Structure 1
């Protein structure tokens, strides 16, 4: 049997393995559709590479196959972060194969991966975030002073994103009853279906009140359901529309970096830490599973402290 080319179908044992793995990711790990697609794409690439090397069965996978798969992608110029993610996908797969008895051992347990560069997007200064929010509120009224439903929505979602640091996917998944307006809390379903409650402040509470009382009813249609944020036609707002809103409002602030929702999340985290919040609390707010992920933001604040020191200290 000749080895399959890059676009040829996988050998039947590998195709069946991929189908079983998808069921595992969906039913047992309860991962989001986006995460499932990413894992399956990486694993399919690995299995295809192994098949081209002559493997036909999960037991044919070995550490050499995994390393050659990563080396081939490195030679194609893939970034360190992509290689690190794919190495993780390989290790997760081989651990599952061993745990379910499909292979005698975990061949990927000793697979190394390049350490990804920890780069953070540009963040707003606190005054720029304030100016961005004011601009959104001003845009909510038309020339006659009548509130625009879409403008009220945009102001509310910007305030909520910055107040809570939630992810854009978490934002668009919110329903109206996820808001606890008595305690100014929002219930968020994060990565891995983990639920957390995040507080928000008075400006966000006021913007949400205006949206729910004057904006959302004007856009709601019978098929709107319980979605908190709606598009112009009454359907649940999608992530692309939120990104457009954030980029547009950031452009109204002179000198501010061009950021999207993720940049607004980073801004919120940075401002929390600069304001004195402890790292563990910020971890809970952001929904990070590891404190090490949250610690990235301390690099930003340390750099700002260094610049302030160099500008202000007479012997810097």
Structure 2
């Protein structure tokens, strides 16, 4: 569950900052500063504090309250004039011209204009595409006219996929947060709109036979007349680096960044282990580009025989120095550390060459987990090998087992009945 999902479970909380001023945490988790003065019109003003951290929110609130007491800040400034949606969009475009990509600005502006056109309801207040696309000018719609009901009706349109609904919700939340800061609206209407649930990505993976097909395809690609020798150097180049890298990921279940950061000092062979079992240290330090492990924890990945054989071969064939800090995975020149982009790009390229399903590089990690479960490993064991924070994350792999077992059973009878 991400931080936004967690925020939805929070209760509304308010902290008094001073007379007529309080900091309010909405159910979404985001903090706003609310002002009240019965002598002003409107009697209430609310501004986004752009944070879900209570300490930061209270600090910003006290700073604004002190400025208001000193006469340096007026929460109601500029609220007397109604601003149309079109005017607000143009102000947004000017404000963000130097801070965002032109395409991002165009998409946000087009979304708000479409929302403004949808304010005129259809029969019985339902979303009506005919009305929304009838050419209603956003300059005729005041930005303050747009309420949470309008946003909810637009976001939860039946013709939108869940992914599109979530994209619109995020876009409107950011845009109206800016509008609240600019005092173009009194409050962010998206705060009262439930966040659409994200589409859960499938746990894509490759079976062991498919992984072997991938590795063989890489070998054939670099040998015009068939598989090339296990390791070939030509002008200090390392043509089979991708084969060895993908084999390592499939044999260890490492994340992409963890594999890139792997050094020879992290490898402990069975003869050097007090347990008699080899392992790979995945430390919570020394990551490439300052990266750390995803869960912030160090762990030891058991060195299965396939991984041990691969690492011993790589040490004999590709290790250039005795420096324990030398990286294990290298690029085509056999010297430089391979990048994340290069890994993912080449995995996609060779996967297509091998005519395999559309599975990302991270799918090799899923493949390793499924293989462990098929061989009888417990969820606790798999959790520890993969470095999951909770066993609930590991339980997701159970949904892959029925299909994997069915494929394995079908393979036993593949020679019968002409299959």
Distance in 1, Cα, partners of 2:282 & 2:238 = 23
- SS of 2:299's partner is strand
Identify if the C-alpha distance between structure 1 residues 126 and 235 changes in structure 2 by more than 3 Å, giving closer, same or farther: closer
Identify if the C-alpha distance between structure 1 residues 210 and 305 changes in structure 2 by more than 3 Å, giving closer, same or farther: closer
2:360 paired residue number:
260
Instruction: Find 1:170's aligned residue among 238, 243, 258.
Output: 258
Tell me the TM-score normalized by structure 1.
0.57
1:126 paired residue number:
208
Cα contact 1:140–1:155 (8 A) shared by 2: no
Provide Cα deviations, 1:254-284, integer angstroms capped at 9, x if missing partner: x743533122222222222222222233233
Identify if the C-alpha distance between structure 1 residues 292 and 214 changes in structure 2 by more than 3 Å, giving closer, same or farther: same
Instruction: Find 1:113's aligned residue among 196, 199, 205.
Output: 196
Q: 1 or 2, which has the higher helix percentage?
A: 1
1:111 Cα shift?
Answer: 2.9
1:241 paired residue number:
342
Distance in 1, Cα, partners of 2:168 & 2:301 = 32
Cα contact 2:295–2:387 (8 A) shared by 1: no
Distance in 1, Cα, partners of 2:148 & 2:258 = 37
2:22 paired residue number:
none
Distance in 1, Cα, partners of 2:332 & 2:408 = 45
Cα contact 1:185–1:198 (8 A) shared by 2: yes
1:153 paired residue number:
241
1:198 Cα shift?
Answer: 2.2
Distance in 1, Cα, partners of 2:167 & 2:282 = 29
1:180 paired residue number:
267
1:231 paired residue number:
331
Distance in 1, Cα, partners of 2:405 & 2:304 = 26
Tell me the TM-score normalized by structure 2.
0.46
Aligned residues: 265
Cα contact 2:253–2:386 (8 A) shared by 1: yes
1:187 Cα shift?
Answer: 0.6
**Radius of gyration: which is bigger?**
2
Identify if the C-alpha distance between structure 1 residues 167 and 81 changes in structure 2 by more than 3 Å, giving closer, same or farther: farther
Cα contact 1:137–1:151 (8 A) shared by 2: no
Deviates more, 1:127-136 or 1:208-217: 127-136
Cα contact 2:331–2:338 (8 A) shared by 1: yes
* Structure 1 unmatched ranges of 5 or more: 12-17, 19-40, 57-61, 92-106, 219-224
1:4 paired residue number:
89
2:306 paired residue number:
203
Identify if the C-alpha distance between structure 1 residues 9 and 228 changes in structure 2 by more than 3 Å, giving closer, same or farther: farther
Provide Cα deviations, 1:223-267, integer angstroms capped at 9, x if missing partner: xx85432323543312232124434554565x7435331222222
Distance in 2, Cα, partners of 1:89 & 1:165 = 35
2:385 paired residue number:
285
Distance in 1, Cα, partners of 2:395 & 2:348 = 26
Cα contact 1:128–1:256 (8 A) shared by 2: yes
1:162 Cα shift?
Answer: 0.3
Q: CA RMSD in A?
A: 5.3
Identify if the C-alpha distance between structure 1 residues 150 and 311 changes in structure 2 by more than 3 Å, giving closer, same or farther: closer
1:180 Cα shift?
Answer: 2.5
1:124 Cα shift?
Answer: 2.5
1:159 Cα shift?
Answer: 2.0
Provide Cα deviations, 1:110-149, integer angstroms capped at 9, x if missing partner: 834235245233x332233244446657888996776335
1:175 Cα shift?
Answer: 3.9
